[in-house]
Amino acid sequence: MFHTNGAGGELLRIEGLHTEFATRAGTVRAVDGIDLRLRRGEILGLVGESGSGKSVTGFSIIGLLDEPGRVTAGRIVFDGQDLLAAGEPALARLRGSRIAMIFQDPMMTLNPLLRIDTQMIEAIRAHSKVGRDAAWRRARDALGLVGIPSPEERLRAYPHQFSGGMRQRVVIAIAMLHAPDLIIADEPTTALDVTIQAQILHEMQRLRREREMALIWITHDLSVVAGLADRVAVMYAGRIVEQGSVDEVLDTPEHPYTEGLIGSIPSHDAAGGALAQIPGMMPSLIDVGPGCRFRERCPRATHRCRDDDPAPRSTGGERLVSCHHPGSGR
Amino acid sequence: MTLYIVRRLLQSVLVVVIMLVLVFVGVYVIGNPVDVMVSTEADQEEFERMVRLLGLDQPLWKQILVYISNLVQGDLGRSFAFSEPALKLVVQRMPATLELVFVAMVMALATGIPLGMYTGLHPDTVPARLIMGTSIIGVSIPNFWQGLMLIFVLAVSWGLFPSGGRGELDTVFGITSSLWTADGWRHVLLPAVNLALFQCTLIIRLVRANVREIVLLDYIRFARAKGLAWRRIVFVHILKNTLVVLITVIGLQLGGLIAYSVVTETVFAWPGMGKLIIDSVYILDRPVIVAYLIVIVMLFITINLIVDVLYSVIDPRIRTARSGGD
Ligand SMILES: Nc1ncnc2c1ncn2[C@@H]1O[C@H](COP(=O)(O)OP(=O)(O)O)[C@@H](O)[C@H]1O
Ligand SMILES: [Mg+2]
């Protein structure tokens, strides 16, 4: 299938995205003005502490925000189409066929009462006008592709008959059924143990190479991103504080938050050494005051950081940093 | 599964024995049925003859033992009042009750599930609020009062329905029921509505609460992320998961409906088991009371078994757990 742009062209552009939850306690500004770009076939790691707005960003793109979540401002342009202006039917046509999503907990992602074949065939027939038999064969091949042994048999099984890792493979197989241009993977390995996590990561990289699909890999674990992503965006309190190519960002972090995240990777320190946890807590996303959101926890904070909210600034190439005192600490 | 069923049946036998003893002691403490049955002018001699005839002169434990040994031989004793086998009396009245309960349950489900789904999927809309508001009224008015109002308005004032009793019977496929005749339906509608109202409210609330929980689950979001039509998500993914909870409640409520039909049957003069048990309690007709309770327990057990089987049909996790456990 040919699209307007060839490989390497722009696939997704997010401009000034604001997503809010109007709750009783106040308006939660979960995503508070972010800009992101993604090329075809590119892997973007979206990293940040829990609660920083990574999932909400993903759900905003695919249009599946929980109530009372609303996108209040910004643009999300996918392959030339403005997703925020698109109606629900148009979005439903894109979901599963051109944009797919994988969630954190594979135990919860599949319907416990329906067989795997039912859940795969319905996904195939939602977008392809094929008969049940043809759909079944496609489902079987898809399971084989993600490394599930004896797929014919496994198609007849129920989700609870699979281990966590195998279930996540099923979910990945479903996400890949229509060879989407973009997969949003929201912490897909967080709920799995480390060996399985490595297998799934490996599998995703292999599939990505074969299929040329773009991937937004959401995680709180920078070490996962290091081996997987082309580019990384670091999220903090509803903002993207730093983004750039993986090598640049990890080798020479400009933002003190990024630096803190790198410092808290276990394998980074000498074995047995204490991890440098970032002190303090993320501020509430209700009534965010003026100034930099990270200043309370920041070793470099000055008066300027208290009054003046730093805007993203380019530090060369695609590198963007939102900090008054950027620079690598090493 | 078989082992499971056998275990369940043994449990039920225990329940029946305990219940028997309780009812015997209960009725014994309340008073002597002969007081009620014999006319006030009867002399002492006739009174004692009657007591001996019914075996009430024996000590309580002996009465229980005799009763149980007869019970084991399938004899539940004779009604003091009608001097007919007690079980026969109860079983004769059973179809009327089951018919009423069946119609009520179907009505409650046919209205409760769609309304519950609707209010669960669109909780903040005006129709949903209206449904929930109305359904509160449904629970807060006592059952017998609802029944009397139904009779008063629809039967007496407007004359749309008969005010009581069961309609003409007919036999189709060997089943005798009033549901085969138009007259039968005219008679059954009001009492069935009366019996169904509370159940309907309950089902609406239950389905609504359940649907609201289910729509937030990841697998529903994933179903949407697959690009499925909303129709399919509602009628396959949500409805099927709601059924699991619904079946438990139907099982519990069906038993409850049979038991509570006592009130409705009394108000609508419906000739079922409920009316029989009320009449029997008035005259302390112990064999009938005990026979009724045994039948009710048996019905409960049967319903629970069916519910268990249905469970494993719908939920594969239970199926695996059971076959693995046995
Ligand atoms: N349904 C919701 N209602 C209210 N607040 C929400 C809801 N979903 C997410 N949020 C808020 O949005 C913020 C970002 O959440 P999320 O994107 O899930 O973080 P994470 O980076 O861990 O994925 C959090 O502060 C969270 O409390
Ligand atoms: Mg998250």
Residues B237, A97: C-beta atoms closer than 8 Å: no
CA-nearest residue for atom 13, ligand 1, is A30
List the Cα angle B20/B24/B27 in 5-degree steps: 135
Exposure letters B246-282 (e unless 16+ CB within 10 A, then b)? bbbbbbebbbbbbbbbbbbbbbbebbbbbbbbeebbe
> For all residues of chain A together, what is the average pLDDT?
88
* A187-217 pLDDT, tens digit each: 988 877 888 888 888 878 887 777 789 999 9
What confidence score (pLDDT) does residue B36 get?
A: 66
Concatenated DSSP letters of A229-252: -SEEEEEETTEEEEEEEHHHHHHS
How many other CB atoms sit within 10 Å of the CB of residue B71? Answer: 18
What confidence score (pLDDT) does residue A316 get?
A: 79
- Is it the case that residue A269 has pLDDT exceeding 60? no
In this complex, is the C-beta atom of B222 within 8 Å of any C-beta atom belonging to chain A? yes
Residues A109, B228: C-beta atoms closer than 8 Å: no
For ligand 1, residues with CB inside 6 Å are: A 21, 23, 28, 30, 48, 50-56, 66, 69, 285
CA-nearest residue for atom 27, ligand 1, is A51
Concatenated DSSP letters of B61-76: HHHHHHHHHHHHTT--
User: What burial class does residue B201 get, using C-beta atoms within 10 Å of its C-beta: 0-12 exposed, 13-18 middle, 19+ buried?
Assistant: buried
**Nearest residue, CB atoms, B225 vs list A101, A112, A115:** A101
* A212-267 pLDDT, tens digit each: 899 999 998 888 888 889 999 999 999 999 999 999 999 999 999 999 898 887 76
Higher-scoring residue by pLDDT: A194, A319: A319
Higher-scoring residue by pLDDT: B10, A184: A184
What confidence score (pLDDT) does residue A120 get?
A: 96
Element (H, E) at A87: none
In this complex, is the C-beta atom of B241 within 8 Å of any C-beta atom belonging to chain A? yes
> From the centroid of its chain, how far is CA A164?
20
In this complex, is the C-beta atom of B214 within 8 Å of any C-beta atom belonging to chain A? no
Q: pLDDT tier at A274 (50, 70, 90 boundaries)?
A: low
Q: Give every residue of chain B whose pLDDT is below 70, as ranges.
A: 1, 28, 36-40, 42, 155, 322-326
* B22-63 pLDDT, tens digit each: 877 777 677 777 776 666 676 777 778 777 777 777 777 887
Considering only A11-25, A114-128, B66-80, which range has the smallest mean pLDDT? B66-80
Asked if B86 contacts B70 with a C-beta cutoff of 8 angstroms, the reply is no
Asked if B191 contacts B103 with a C-beta cutoff of 8 angstroms, the reply is no
> For all residues of chain B together, what is the average pLDDT?
82
d(CA A83, CA A71) in angstroms, rounded, equals 11
Nearest atom within ligand 1 for CA of residue A285: 25
For B143-268, strand residue ranges (E) read: 170-172, 175-177
Distances in Å between the alpha carbon of A303 and those of A222, A237, A325?
30, 20, 12
Q: What is the pTM of this model?
A: 0.82
Sign of CA dihedral B256, B262, B264, B268: positive
Three-class secondary structure of residue A20 per DSSP: strand
* A62-76 pLDDT, tens digit each: 999 998 999 999 999
What confidence score (pLDDT) does residue B180 get?
A: 76
What confidence score (pLDDT) does residue B225 get?
A: 95
Tokens of B150: 């139904």
Residue in chain A nearest B222 by alpha carbon: A109
Residue type, B45: E
